[in-house]
Amino acid sequence: MSKERIGFIGVGLMGHGMAKNIVEKGWPLTVLGHRNRAPVEDLKARGAAEATSARDLAEKSDIVVICVTGSPQVEAAIKGPEGLASAGKPLLICDCSTSEPSSTIRLAADLAPKGITLIDAPLSRTPKDAEAGTLDVMVGGDPAAVERAWPVLEAFGQRIVKTGPVGTGHTMKLLNNFVSMGYAAIYAEALALGAKAGITPAVFDSVIRGGRMDCLFYQTFFKYVLERDRDAHKFTLVNALKDTTYLAAFANAAGLANPVGSAVRNSYALAVNTGHAEDYVPMLSDIVAEMNGVKLLTE
């Protein structure tokens, strides 16, 4: 049986590895051109075709995977003048971005009468896992649509969890990022407090690592803290602020008091608004230390 034709929008840090796995595992792949030509040319060398617009991509695809910054970019890719919906044909769209759940639910309802099915399939883990095909995927949507997309998700996902109706994947992703970004904010403050008291990051790490509070996120965060590996966890502070802002909007819509979420968001707002938007999340440790007049010693 021939495989469905896959389109891909957003071949950036995460998307390149995902698209690479799709084309190398035998799916006919078309990618949307991007101002960063390197990943596009790499994928073309592996057998992918290139579309000139989202509409052109839709015309050449049965399933389209989107992996962009957030809801505004997703909506533009689908509903713009040359967007996916303008092709006027049935499609299955998998939104792997970290999007706002209310936008996802509204968009799915708007697209259904046009014969376009939207499911949300956001990701966890890192660009390295995207390259290896070992991402975690949280997928929400109509069961038949999820079943149809499943083999494609398996091309880049090692652990795929069904979360429920459309919108629940993005809700779970916000909760997942709240936990991880919350830990990062706590690590940063704890390290600054330790530095004030003369406790080095190495001593801190010797207590936490291997104990009950150790985890993979902790290890990538501390690969930067201890080894100064800038690329240990390539997730920008401005994206962390976006996700925690989405969480705040979600909590507000649900009528939920979330004081911890607000404090976590403010940690990233402070970092971004002091000129660190494109720095990566583990670098929050340096920012918090500097604001408190201390330096994290690596020896």
- Residues forming the active site: 173
Those residues with Cβ within 8 angstroms of residue 175's Cβ, 6 or more apart along the chain or in another chain: 247
Q: Does residue 40 contact residue 34 with C-beta atoms inside 8 Å?
A: yes
- Say how far apart CA 152 and CA 63 lie, in whole Å: 9
Backbone angles phi, psi at 66, to 5 degrees: -115, 130
For residue 236, what is the DSSP state? B
Token pair of 119 as six digits = 């499911």
**How far is the C-alpha of 18 from the C-alpha of 15, rounded, in Å?**
5
Burial class (CB in 10 A: 0-12, 13-18, 19+), 109: exposed
Count the Cβ atoms, other than its own, within 10 Å of residue 169. Answer: 30
Helices (H), 197-299: 201-208, 216-227, 237-254, 259-271, 284-291
Q: Dihedral of the CA atoms 183, 185, 186, 189 (nearest 10)?
A: 160
Q: Find the largest Cα–Cα distance for the chain.
A: 65
Report d(CA 201, CA 190) in Å as an integer.
Answer: 10
- State the sign of the Cα–Cα–Cα–Cα dihedral 147, 4, 76, 69: positive
